Structure 1
Amino acid sequence: MSVDQKQVNQIIDAIGGKDNISAATHCVTRLRFALADEGKVDKEALESIDLVKGSFSTNGQFQVVIGQGTVDKVYKELVSQTGVGEASKDDVKKASEKHLNPLQRAIKTLADIFIPILPAIVTAGLLMGINNILTGPGIFFDEALIEVYPQWADVASIINLIANTAFVFLPGLIGWSAVNRFGGSPLLGIVLGLMLVHPDLLNAWGYGAAEEIPTWNLFGLEVQKVGYQGQVLPVLLASYVLSKIEVFLRKLIPDAFQLLLVAPITLLVTGLVSFIAIGPITFAIGNVITDAVVGIFNVAPIVGGLIYGGLYAPLVITGMHHTFLAVDLQLIGNTGGTFLWPMVALSNIAQGTAALAMMFILKDEKLKSLSITSAVSAYLGITEPAMFGVNLRFRFAFISAIIGSAIAGAFISIQGVKAPSIGVGGLPGFLSIFPENWGSFFIGMIIVIVVPFVLTLLFGKIRKEK
């Protein structure tokens, strides 16, 4: 038996044996298990295995951090040894849902909707960052780069168009993912989302400045012809309604007539309900949520920054951080920028710094190596190896990162740092920040590099002396 096979066998034993595995799959870095009884897991034995870089439980799933590339080989060997059939992520999600309470189910639903579209949004954020460099004044010269070198103006224009596409047609992306999650046809979800931002509708971003709002007259009822660009809630609720109508009709209508009747009726009914009720109601709710969040940070930015900057990493442990992606997108759609996401980027850097500091404290060569690699990963926006593999294992490192993140969050909140988009949440994060806020954001970066590093070394020294 090879070393890899032996270690995979050790992983199986540590999570309670093959009989404890209801379903298993993997993502880019982690094995994901739906276990019959998580109480049977021997975490100490599990995390002593060389292949394992950490483990945690979230949303009813037990996840084992292995690392990019290696995880695929480990998973195949695990399937071979246990006889568990290769499962999709949906299979594992369904198997793990029975362990969730209603709040966890709601959070998980939001995560299932937004995680699939995150790559498109992050890509758009990076491209907008490049556009910011080309068009922002005061970065390289007093004027914008495209004014000094006009030949780059059209390149910047194309980059801006490509970058903005994901945000202009955001309801289309959400519609596809949400309808798929709710059990409907993803294609109808795309059509629904694009319908809500149709060019014939008054653009939501011009709603406040419009002198006259165009309307439809539907049987004596006046309905505003308003689009929902940049809005999250209208398409989420409309997607749920569409999915339920479609599923109902597919059960009711014979197979021979489904192609002719199901999609047209579903879209027509959902469309009418969306423009008459769902859209206006959720648009108002979205504005209330936006005003409330903005109001808190306007009245007490230092308190808001301390709380969100400090709590983001603990929220990641629970999975609740996914709910704030919807808030970020709502803020971007309503106000043109979000002050929450910059704190996410700094929180990730803080976790990476704490893990890096542990390299100077630890003597175990495996953990020292893990500290370095996980720090690099966190600096590039992926914090799981640092958080679950190093910092949470040595709680003082995790606490140090939280303190640094809270201080930096308070500082950039006072300075009003905003991002026009969501990008890579680590060192490259500055690309997604408004150029006029770069100075303050860089100071925030210095805080989350220096404070967690110094505190981790200090707490580590105190711990040794005890």
Structure 2
Amino acid sequence: MLDVLTDTVFSFLPALICWSAFKKFGGTPIVGFVIGLMLVSPLLPNAYEVADASSNVEAVMAFGFIPITGYQGSVLTALVIGYLGSKLEIATRKVMPQALDMMFSPFVVIAVMLITALLILGPILHLVENGLVYVVEAFIHVPFGIGGLVIGFIYPLAVMTGMHHLFITIETALLGSTGFNPLITICAMYGFANAAVCFAISTRAKKSHVKVIGTSAGVTQLLGVSEPGLFGITLRYGTRPLAAMLAGSAIGGAVLSMLGIQANSYGLAVILSPLMYIYDPYQLITYIAVGVLTFILTFIITY
């Protein structure tokens, strides 16, 4: 029952991503959902079984050289197909006679995008996605925690520019391919460090309104919303609080990388994030310890 609870979403992940992409880019969400379901149809060889050498399941070779498999756990393929499909639907409905629109427009979109996904873009994007996962995993596991140090330093800067949303795609690909998410483990140290900066400035402040804002932003950060603390406190008081936060995030990321800590989910921040590690006592205890130490170290440096 727990497997059903935790694994079902990832089994049909492309369908959810296609649905979301169609909704975002102006298409009909249910059409995107159907296309996404086709990407993981049981009529196709299961991607996980194809990747498992002991399963004896092989991809279907179209024209002798194009491998056709399901796209279980694939994010990039579903996202691109969802975007292109929504644009194709909009264009098709503009030229389709109104009397035929309801019947033929969805059929044209579904048929064209399925062929495009299985025979053209899917195999190419699947290779790109696997390569991206491989590179990120390899970088995270660079010896001496160097990869974790760099990612822990870069992630807060990505949040400042709004680029951190790109990390979600990589995290989802990691979860779909490996079942684990070491990236969010490293990035999560930003939350501990940013909260520590807010509380340290609040403690040192002499003006009552700064104390209130600092405490409020720190509590908000502990609950997973970082922008009030980042823009209202950390960046507001010069480069030293920012430097302290970047240092805490980078050091915490490096330590977690060296210790091999990795989540088995994503989306939970700071005080709720330990829930992503309850699958293993070592993972849970180590993550909490490093997170608390990152908070303490950053608080002391900032103070």
Q: TM-score range by the shorter chain?
A: over 0.9
**8 Å contact kept, 2:199–2:299:** yes
Structure 1 length normalisation: TM-score?
Answer: 0.61
Q: Which has the higher strand share?
A: 1
Where do residues 4-403 of structure 1 align in structure 2 (5 Å cutoff)? 157=1, 159-209=2-52, 210-215=55-60, 220=63, 224-300=67-143, 302-395=145-238, 396-403=240-247
Instruction: Tell me which amino acid in the other structure corresponds to 1:202.
Output: P
Q: Offset of 1:235 from its aligned partner?
A: 0.6
- What's the C-alpha RMSD, in Å, of the aligned pairs? 1.7
Secondary structure, in 3 states, of the residue corresponding to 1:360? helix
Q: Deviations over 1:85-140 (max 9, x none)?
A: xxxxxxxxxxxxxxxxxxxxxxxxxxxxxxxxxxxxxxxxxxxxxxxxxxxxxxxx
Q: State the number of aligned residues.
A: 298
Structure scoring higher RCO (CA < 8 A, sep ≥ 6) equals 2
Q: Offset of 1:224 from its aligned partner?
A: 4.1
**8 Å contact kept, 1:215–1:222:** no
The answer to which of 313-322 and 220-229 deviates more is: 220-229
Structure 2 length normalisation: TM-score?
Answer: 0.93
Structure 1 distance, partners of 2:150, 2:30, is 40
Q: Deviations over 1:224-280 (max 9, x none)?
A: 441111111111121122122212211111111101110011101110111111111
Q: Deviations over 1:57-81 (max 9, x none)?
A: xxxxxxxxxxxxxxxxxxxxxxxxx
**8 Å contact kept, 2:50–2:59:** no
Structure 1 distance, partners of 2:57, 2:19, is 32
Q: Deviations over 1:271-304 (max 9, x none)?
A: 0111111111111111111111112223335111
Which residue does the alignment assign to 1:428? 272
Instruction: Tell me which amino acid in the other structure corresponds to 1:381.
Output: G
5+ residue gaps, structure 2: none
1:449 maps to which of 289, 295, 298: 295
- 1:414 matches 2:276: no
Secondary structure, in 3 states, of the residue corresponding to 2:182? coil
Structure 2 distance, partners of 1:339, 1:309, is 12
Which residue does the alignment assign to 1:53? none
Secondary structure, in 3 states, of the residue corresponding to 1:278? helix
5+ residue gaps, structure 1: 1-156, 458-466
Instruction: Tell me which amino acid in the other structure corresponds to 1:245.
Output: L
Q: Offset of 1:168 from its aligned partner?
A: 1.9
Structure 1 distance, partners of 2:73, 2:163, is 22
**8 Å contact kept, 1:233–1:283:** yes
**8 Å contact kept, 1:380–1:428:** yes
- For the structure 1 residues 214 and 402, does the alpha-carbon distance in structure 2 shift closer, same or farther, using more than 3 Å as the test? closer
Q: Offset of 1:202 from its aligned partner?
A: 2.1
Secondary structure, in 3 states, of the residue corresponding to 2:204? coil
Q: Offset of 1:411 from its aligned partner?
A: 0.3
Instruction: Tell me which amino acid in the other structure corresponds to 2:269.
Output: G
Instruction: Tell me which amino acid in the other structure corresponds to 1:228.
Output: Y
Instruction: Tell me which amino acid in the other structure corresponds to 2:267.
Output: G
- For the structure 1 residues 343 and 299, does the alpha-carbon distance in structure 2 shift closer, same or farther, using more than 3 Å as the test? closer
Which residue does the alignment assign to 1:103? none
**8 Å contact kept, 1:213–1:225:** no
- For the structure 1 residues 212 and 167, does the alpha-carbon distance in structure 2 shift closer, same or farther, using more than 3 Å as the test? closer
Q: Offset of 1:417 from its aligned partner?
A: 0.8
Structure 2 distance, partners of 1:260, 1:161, is 35
- 1:438 matches 2:284: yes
Secondary structure, in 3 states, of the residue corresponding to 2:264? coil
Instruction: Tell me which amino acid in the other structure corresponds to 2:114.
Output: G
Q: Offset of 1:221 from its aligned partner?
A: 5.7
Q: Offset of 1:214 from its aligned partner?
A: 4.9
**8 Å contact kept, 1:310–1:402:** yes
Structure 2 distance, partners of 1:235, 1:177, is 10
Query: Which structure has the bigger radius of gyration?
Result: 1
